Amino acid sequence: MNMQTTRRNFLQQLGYLSIGFSLIGATPITDTLLKPPTTGFPDKRPDQKQINAWLQLLENGKVLILSGKVELGQGIRTALKQIAAEELDTHLDRIEMQLADTGKTPDEGYTAGSNSIQSSGMAIRNVAASAREIILKMASEKWGIPVSQLQFKDGDIIGPTKKISLQHLLEGRQIEQEIGTPSEFKGKTVRKFVGKSVPRNDIEDMVRGNPIFVQDLRFPNMVHA
């Protein structure tokens, strides 16, 4: 295949691409727009309607949050972690993030236009709140105690006289249920992480100019326009 092109043709095609992105930005995000192209290869990622496509329990007891958005220096790795930690009532140290791995994370389309919190953030909030309610319901059924007497905090389910870790409750399994509609989200008056100033772990790299983002990539004979 001949991949050679002229600078004029490259800029012309780039102009078409820019117009396309402008139109997409003004168009409501639909399943059609976010549907990945057909490649002929099987898609091994979990069903995006399932909680475990977005939230998984790790062997070390921490929670892994998966997002299809890319960290470009805008701080979404920290912000999305705050959202998940809030709804799971779990400290930030117990949340790990996996961003934009095409073989593992949900297909959330492009990362642009400041839409990561609006789309991925709200999806993660819904998933985390759904997971919290499912976890409490599982403990309620296990102990025969009303959900109203239980709380989920820092990876433990706590009852009036009992306590169990999420690892032991799930017994090595993931939450293999569809994402529901949570009956309750954490309100403004009880939030511990969302809306709070949280240190980012990439500030020093940015200040020092270390190449840590995709836009830092440089290739031989790379042309800019």
The per-residue pLDDT of the chain, averaged, comes to: 85
Gap between the Cα atoms of 26 and 22, Å rounded? 7
Give residue-wise pLDDT tens across range 48-99.
899 999 999 999 999 999 999 999 999 999 999 999 999 999 999 999 999 9
Confidence band for 224, pLDDT divided at 50, 70 and 90:
confident
Average pLDDT over residues 29-38: 43
Range in 5-19, 89-103, 125-139, 199-213 the model is least confident about:
5-19
Q: What are phi and psi of 116, to 5 degrees?
A: -65, -45
- In whole angstroms, how far apart are CA 25 and each of 4, 18, 91? 30, 11, 35
Q: In the β-sheet with 163-165, what is the strand arrangement from edge to edge?
A: 151-153, 156-158, 163-165
Cβ-based burial of 205 (10 A; exposed 0-12, middle 13-18, buried ≥19):
middle
pTM for this predicted structure? 0.77
Q: In the β-sheet with 95-99, what is the strand arrangement from edge to edge?
A: 55-57, 63-67, 95-99
User: What's the CATH code, domain 45-202?
Assistant: 3.30.365.10
Cβ-based burial of 64 (10 A; exposed 0-12, middle 13-18, buried ≥19):
middle
Q: Which residue has the tokens 């002929």?
A: 40
Give me the residue spans of the domains in the chain. Answer: 45-202
Write down the pLDDT at residue 103: 87
- Neighbouring C-beta atoms of residue 14, cutoff 10 Å: 11
Write down the pLDDT at residue 1: 52
Q: Where are the alpha helices (DSSP H) in 96-121?
A: 116
Give the burial string for 99-114 (b: 16+ CB within 10 Å, else e): bbeeeebbebbebeee
Give residue-wise pLDDT tens across range 135-165.
999 999 999 999 999 999 999 999 999 999 9
Beta strands in 15-169 (DSSP E): 55-57, 63-67, 95-99, 151-153, 156-158, 163-165
